[in-house]
A and B are shown apart, each in its own frame.
Chain A
Amino acid sequence: MITLSHVSKWYQSFQVLKDCSTEVAKGEVVVVCGPSGSGKSTLIKCVNGLEPFQQGTIAVAGISVGDRKTDLPKLRARIGMVFQHFELFPHLTVMRNLMLAQIKVLHRGREESERRGMKLLERVGLTEHAHKFPGQLSGGQQQRVAIARALAMDPIAMLFDEPTSALDPEMINEVLDVMVALAKDGMTMMVVTHEMGFAHKVAHRVVFMDRGEIVEDAPTAEFFGKPRSERAQTFLSKILQH
């Protein structure tokens, strides 16, 4: 579904991504982790073309992301993305947040968009908040709405950029529960996160990045059981303390 091949990216003269190659098959859940500055956020933003890259290729469902001729908005409509800071549109109600792109990008009718929006709010457990504004919701609630907003587009894959890093500890689980349910339903997911519990539960593979390179790319059990590289071992020992 998602293929990255020898992707390299520079900011001016600084190389942030070094020859990264990996794959996410349909229905697979891949967790990307690594110390800060490792380039994992940048990598995932390249997948839907939010960040440009200079070398290599990225393809989603066979469509090349880097190709100049690709209709990026159309491609992005098919890939869902959830951000660290939720990024709900503060001037629109929750329902309008869910409906906006359905109407303007997918050209669905108002009633259909509203219906689908409501169903998704049910799925994430937030129907009573449909007509509130994002500012009136807690962080965990906002992030669940953000997930619903991305799902409203019927994406073929979902990208998560540190979805729980900006949440207070007591709200992390409500978001992770939604993500676990999504994974169990067979969604193709690429998740940048520090939440190793999540990785254990539903990830098929773990990709470890450090300083712009993919250092390890292994099935979950293997990654946690016998990490091959020293850097991965150091990282794991640091974050698994708590």
Chain B
Amino acid sequence: MNYHWNWGIFFQTSPDGVHTYLETLFMGTGWTLLTALSAWILALALGSLVGVARTTPYVWLARLGDAYVELFRDIPLLVQMFLWYFVLPELLPTDLGDWLKQLPDASFYTAVVALGFYTSARVSEQVRAGISSLARGQRFAGLALGLTLPQTYLYVLLPMAYRIILPPLTSEFLNVIKNSAVALTIGLLELTARARAMQEMSFQVFEAFTAATVIYIIINIAVTFGMRWVERNTAVPGLIGAAPALATH
């Protein structure tokens, strides 16, 4: 094998003259996590709204929600990012467009928005499924007590629905972390971008990508354990798992 291994490369200074390669990877990781978290918050907010809308008795609202989901589900994430980054500024009035293009960290904001909207469609699917899996009586019980529909959602339906969908939501969050790598195409210097840069500059291909892989695995394990802790602490006593137990009464 002609490849020359050099694990010490991590401690050599990168071409920017200031940071070691290892430090650049950590910087990249920071951007990955920041982008993922920000996008996730946006996705949860939007996704919950759309998910709820799709379960209301207002057919036009539900259809609108369905269209929203189709739009963001049927276009690849990469293409969506290009649309936000390259196309949107051109379609806005010139001043606004120019301002967007000059924005420092434009790739970060674009990545967050693109990833946020893309993921919100998937989150809305989970929220919709979670609410639908609750026994219909729950909604009626809330309304019968005199709660308005929004109150019923807020105090009765959503608290249980979120607990039910914690596992699939966890997967979705892990997906957001992975999908943040796509933003390297619009210039975001997240982890994969940094690993690629390290590979291009140092020619130590496998060291660079191994480090990135290991970091992603660690993040994965940390998030999985973290979510399990959340699940345990929010579990409702007497309910083993979720929907099946609920639906029987």
* A and B touching (Cβ–Cβ under 8 A): no
